Amino acid sequence: MSGLRILKPGPLSLLQDAGRHGWQHLGVSPAGALDLQAAAWANRLLDNPWGTPLLEVALGYLELEAELDTWLALTGAELAASLDGQALLPWSRFPIRAGQRLKLDYARSGQRAYLAVAGGFQVAPVLGSVSTQAREGLGGLHGTGEALRAGDLLPCRPGQRTGILSVPWVYRPDYRAIPRLRVIAGGDSASFDADQLRAFFAQTWQLSPQSDRMGARLQGEALAVNTRQWSQGVSRGAIQVPPDGQPIILQADHQTMGGYPILGWLHPLDQSRLAQCPPHHGLRFSPVSLADAQAELRRFYRFFGRRAP
């Protein structure tokens, strides 16, 4: 099978899908696309089903050459993209022919771009998913959790669509603004003093450069916490507060057990916005009810054709 040949992989380009679910009891994290909204739009532009394998490109600098005629869609981080030197519209689908080269420059705003292909990349799943998880050595092109390298061939089938199609601008997030991320209270929040909870929501935090696909680390005025003496299962979006008082928001490659107190959970849709924030970016938080978060998530899933779990 032919496909797309990687000429320059950029700093970190990973095959991802909707994640590797149902294995956390064995210590396997879900992985999956960090920005679910941008990934969902990329697949929708090509009429691909929810969770179809695509490429997550951190910071840009990707270059590839097509070995077949097909259609691609590009969403996510704001970056200059060109096909044989001709500029491409952002958040759009476009045809690519055998021999043509796609080039992505450095991301000017946002951190991750998503590149989908008509029909999805044809890669064998590992434990039900192609998502790349480097720490556990799972998924990706060869099933061993490796990032893409120069010379790799991303297998796909020829695809046909009709007409350029773009996401309406009203649905495209502004990655430059300081986001107000919504938090669902729960976990160990009752063990935090009321003034500490107020302090969490009142201040502007900064995203630490030590953040990665496992956890987003916050920097700010430290919170006072009571240490917990046992571990429990954790999920993506959990806001852990370690002894130094600097919260950690668990991301897609999170560990499956944790012993730090949990202040609450980040709204599932706001996890996508967090995934696009660069180091030192400001972050504000506000509370949201569980019922409101669930209702919004159901609408999101219905729009993109996924049955709510």
What is the predicted pLDDT for the residue at 191? 82
Structure tokens at 289: 């009810």
26 CB-near residues (< 8 Å, 6+ apart): none
Q: Does the structure show a pLDDT above 80 at 268?
A: yes
pLDDT tens, position by position, 146-166: 999 999 999 999 988 878 899
Q: Of 60 and 233, which is predicted with more confidence?
A: 60
Q: How many CB atoms lie within 10 A of CB 254?
A: 23
Structure tokens at 201: 């929501």
Beta bridge partners of 116: 73
pLDDT tens, position by position, 285-302: 999 999 999 999 999 999
Burial of 203 (0-12, 13-18, 19+ CB in 10 A): middle
Contact 262, 188 (CB under 8 A): yes
What DSSP letter does each residue of 256-270 carry, written as one string? SEE-S-EEEEE-TTH
* This model's pTM is above 0.75: yes
Average pLDDT over residues 247-271: 93
**Domain range annotation of the chain:** 3-171, 180-303
Which fold is adopted by the domain 180-303?
Cyclophilin (2.40.100)
pLDDT tens, position by position, 2-32: 999 999 999 999 999 999 999 998 889 999 9
**CA proximity to 117, closest of 51, 14, 48, 39:** 48
Structure tokens at 74: 């590009």
Distance CA 258, CA 29 (A): 13
Q: Does the structure show a pLDDT above 80 at 308?
A: no
**CA proximity to 174, closest of 77, 266, 287:** 77
Average pLDDT over residues 52-67: 97
Beta bridge partners of 104: 81
Contact 132, 139 (CB under 8 A): yes
Q: How confident is the model at residue 309 (pLDDT cuts 50, 70, 90)?
A: low
What is the predicted pLDDT for the residue at 57? 98
Residue 116 CA: distances (Å) to CA of 126, 133, 182, 267, 279 = 20, 19, 29, 25, 26
Average pLDDT of the chain, as a whole number:
93
194 CB-near residues (< 8 Å, 6+ apart): none
Q: How many CB atoms lie within 10 A of CB 29?
A: 26
What is the predicted pLDDT for the residue at 160? 83
- The C-alpha angle 84, 85, 89, rounded to 5 degrees, equals 100
Question: How many residues in total does the chain contain?
Answer: 309
Q: Does the structure show a pLDDT above 90 at 210?
A: yes
**Which strands form 54-58's sheet, in the order they lie side by side?**
12-16, 54-58, 109-117, 70-78, 92-96, 165-166
Average pLDDT over residues 124-137: 94
Read off the DSSP letter of residue 245. S
Q: How confident is the model at residue 70 (pLDDT cuts 50, 70, 90)?
A: very high
Contact 241, 197 (CB under 8 A): no
Instruction: Spell out where 67-173 has E strands.
Output: 70-78, 81-83, 86-87, 92-96, 101-104, 109-117, 153-155, 165-166
What is the predicted pLDDT for the residue at 175? 93
Q: Does the structure show a pLDDT above 90 at 105?
A: yes
296 CB-near residues (< 8 Å, 6+ apart): 267, 269
